[in-house]
Structure 1
Amino acid sequence: MLDRSYLLICLFALIAMFGGGLIGLYVARALPSHHLTKESGAVVKLSAAVVASLTSLVLALMLSAANGAYSVNAGIVTKLGSDIIQLDHMLRAYGPEADAARVHLRDYAGRKSEELFPAAPPPSRDSRGTADLLDRLLDSILSLTLPDRRHTALAAQALSITNQIYAERWLLWENPGTTVPAPFLFVLIFWLFLVFVSFGVFAPPNLTVVASLFLSALAVTGAIFLILQLGDPMHHSWLQISGEPLQRALSEIGRP
């Protein structure tokens, strides 16, 4: 489900921008004619262009940062699924002595998938029980006997992959996404409000202008919505990271 606070922020942004355009149309009718000369219009449009350029640059940087956070988290989940499959193959090749470690691996993979991609959100970042399962997996690998060079190499490779899984666990913990501070977001919306007011001041008051202002405000609101959604990729259904890599891993390691 979508975070209600995000929807409220987007609704506030839409109202601020579209309302700013309507205020501009109203103000233009109330101003004396000498305030609406071509010279005045040129100055207002130039000022609005400066604010609009700054706003578009900030929006682009925010969208790039949010998309980067989304891509990083998606990559971590994909790598986690791949490492789980590879570790299971190493343990299967080791032989029957590693069966206990494989059980711990399946338990951990299933628990982690349920935490990150639950049927009923919101997901959990990591519980103590999931961490304990990973610790048991590590203990099982460390307790394996090493009768020959082949088993020694397999155990070492399994230990290396387990360490990577630990690292991915902490990366998901420490890199939940990007958070836009509320004061910064409201300042950005205020800039957009000023830009739309300037649009309305020198625009003729007709239905085409009103529709254009609304569609422009809706387009910018869509960009803000994408930034908020991409910045929190583990929690929202519309742009949530796919749990398919972990599901494929569970299906693969479930084979006897």
Structure 2
Amino acid sequence: MSSTAAFLASFVSILIGAALGVLVKRTLPAAPLGTGSKQAIRLGAGFLSTLAALVIGLMIASAKNTYDSHNTNIRQLGTHAVLVDQLLAQYGSEAKAARTLLRDIIPSATSRIWQENASGKGGASAVVVSDMAERFYNAVEGLKPANAKQTSLKSRITQLSAEMGRTRLLVFTQGDDGIPLPFFVVLVFWLVVIFASFSLFAEPNLIVVASTLVLALSVSSALFLIVDLNQPFQGLMQISNHHLHVVLPKIE
């Protein structure tokens, strides 16, 4: 579910709920909407409003956690790439081929991460190592240490390269939508009921209509931001991939 679809669905649903409240008010005679009935409906709407506020708070926390997790993994991927490159540079000229391949796989992996997470088509393809990445791993494994220093460097390079692969897999495996559709539908239904109860006792004048529109827009905007934050590889608040493209210096 895209953030735009979430905004439109919630905004239209809330307005429909408000219109239903006005329709019910005009249909029912005045007697059923006496003081006791109004008090009961207001208490129920108040309870539902509190429950909806708690759920929205949980959704915000979940979306922020998803965003932060992906952002941390992306930055960790860049950090590991820099460390591997520095270790390869210390290893010597024998590692130049591996350094060149590293500069090719980082932009390629970045594009793949953004494309497959944005389209939701990660799936089994996420665990498949690309030909370029396989050549890089083979180049690292093919290094022949000539002394203790190179032996230690190769061990650290191999370990960090494995961490790079693990981090990339984490980005894909954590890419599932953190806000299930039934959860969102139930929340929107609650909002429809709440706004219907608001308009049930209000006279449909210009101020009430304008206020309803502003409130519906505000609530829908909040849901838009939550869903957009929960999709960090697309939308307005997507994670920037610029630093991954420029993280490695040119080989001298």
* TM-score normalised by structure 1 residue count: 0.88
Matched, 1:64 2:64: no
Following the alignment from structure 2 to structure 1, what is the Cα–Cα distance between the partners of residues 41 and 176?
38
Following the alignment from structure 2 to structure 1, what is the Cα–Cα distance between the partners of residues 96 and 149?
17
Paired AA for residue 226 in structure 2: I
Following the alignment from structure 2 to structure 1, what is the Cα–Cα distance between the partners of residues 79 and 127?
23
Following the alignment from structure 1 to structure 2, what is the Cα–Cα distance between the partners of residues 69 and 140?
34
Q: Which of 108, 113, 116 is residue 116 of structure 1 equivalent to?
A: 113
Matched, 1:42 2:20: no
Paired AA for residue 131 in structure 2: D
Deviates more, 1:180-189 or 1:15-24: 180-189
Alpha-carbon contact 1:177-1:232 (below 8 Å) kept: no
Q: Give the 3 Å change call, closer, same or farther, for CA 124–255 of structure 1 in structure 2.
A: farther
Alpha-carbon contact 1:116-1:124 (below 8 Å) kept: no
Once the two structures are TM-superposed, the CA of residue 43 in structure 1 deviates from its matched residue by 0.8
SS at match of 2:130: helix
Q: Which stretches in structure 1 are left out of the alignment for 5+ residues?
A: none
What CA deviation, in whole Å up to 9, does each residue of 1:74-124 have, x standing for no partner?
111111111111111110111110011112211111211232346xx7597
Following the alignment from structure 2 to structure 1, what is the Cα–Cα distance between the partners of residues 40 and 23?
19
Q: What residue is the counterpart of 1:207 in the other structure? A: 206
SS at match of 2:22: helix
Matches within 5 A, 1:100-179: 100-117=97-114, 122=119, 125=122, 131-179=130-178
Following the alignment from structure 2 to structure 1, what is the Cα–Cα distance between the partners of residues 10 and 107?
40
Matched, 1:244 2:242: yes
Following the alignment from structure 1 to structure 2, what is the Cα–Cα distance between the partners of residues 122 and 53?
35
SS at match of 2:251: coil
SS at match of 2:188: helix
Following the alignment from structure 1 to structure 2, what is the Cα–Cα distance between the partners of residues 171 and 83?
14
Paired AA for residue 230 in structure 1: L
Q: Which stretches in structure 2 are left out of the alignment for 5+ residues?
A: none
Following the alignment from structure 1 to structure 2, what is the Cα–Cα distance between the partners of residues 72 and 166?
16
Once the two structures are TM-superposed, the CA of residue 203 in structure 1 deviates from its matched residue by 1.4
Deviates more, 1:178-187 or 1:138-147: 178-187
The count of aligned residue pairs is: 248
What CA deviation, in whole Å up to 9, does each residue of 1:47-71 have, x standing for no partner?
0111111111111111211111111
Identity of aligned residues (%): 29
Following the alignment from structure 2 to structure 1, what is the Cα–Cα distance between the partners of residues 98 and 158?
11
Q: Give the 3 Å change call, closer, same or farther, for CA 177–72 of structure 1 in structure 2.
A: farther
Alpha-carbon contact 1:111-1:130 (below 8 Å) kept: no
Runs of 4+ in 1 over 3 A off after TM superposition: 121-130
